[in-house]
């Protein structure tokens, strides 16, 4: 229907185990707002066995909301699954990619990339130090919001706040509510 509430509700009732990659491609193509792409489609995708493959395609798509959803999916994955489910070299390469591309990326993608740095630092212990260094190298990230005042994101500060709170190694029990 294109109705936001209906699309959000679909994310609540969707059964990711029965969904195919084609289902997710169709769904992301209809997600016209980052709350849908990053918090409905990406969250549901994170509960599948093929999440990384689809997220990788979306990250390399060149389309703002798909890229954002791909990075967000990795945040949900890293924040929920055991560290040994991920290839350390691949995640390290993704941190390098973020460091090189974040400031030239579209705003929603910048936001998701910034969150990826934070999540890697807090929830993916094998690359905690690399993620902390990446956050420092990236520095503040500016999101231009049209006529509104720009927002500044700073993964380094957020990482340190959560370290101070004793949240290093935090994993969510569930991805979806």
177 occurs within a structural domain: no
43 occurs within a structural domain: yes
Res 90 pLDDT > 70: yes
At 161, the pLDDT band (50, 70, 90 cuts) reads very high
41 occurs within a structural domain: yes
90 occurs within a structural domain: yes
How many structural domains does the chain have? 1
31 occurs within a structural domain: yes
Distance CA 78, CA 144 (A): 28
Tell me the per-residue pLDDT of 33-58, one tens digit each, with 9 for 90 and over.
999 999 999 999 999 999 999 999 99
C-beta atoms surrounding 25 within 10 Å = 13
> How many Å from the N-terminal Cα to the C-terminal Cα in the chain?
23
169 occurs within a structural domain: no
173 occurs within a structural domain: no
Range of the domain at 20: 4-164
Q: What is the pLDDT of residue 177?
A: 64
174 occurs within a structural domain: no
Whole-model pTM: value is 0.95
| Bridge partners for 141 per DSSP | 153
């Amino acid at each position: 229907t294109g109705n936001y509430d209906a699309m959000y509700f679909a994310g609540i009732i969707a059964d990711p185990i029965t969904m195919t990659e084609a289902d997710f491609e169709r769904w992301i193509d209809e997600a016209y707002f980052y709350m849908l792409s990053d918090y409905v489609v990406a969250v549901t995708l994170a509960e599948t066995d093929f999440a990384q493959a689809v997220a990788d395609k979306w990250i390399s798509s060149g389309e703002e909301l798909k890229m954002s959803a791909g990075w967000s999916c990795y945040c949900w994955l890293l924040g929920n699954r055991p560290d040994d489910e991920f290839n350390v070299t691949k995640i390290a390469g993704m941190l390098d990619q973020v460091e090189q591309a974040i400031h030239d990326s579209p705003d929603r993608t910048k936001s998701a990339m910034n969150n990826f740095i934070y999540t890697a630092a807090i929830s993916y212990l094998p690359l905690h130090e690399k993620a902390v260094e990446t956050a420092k190298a990236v520095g503040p990230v500016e999101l231009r919001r049209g006529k509104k005042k720009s927002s500044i994101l700073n993964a380094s500060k957020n990482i340190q706040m959560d370290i101070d709170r004793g949240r290093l190694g935090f994993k969510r029990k569930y991805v979806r509510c």
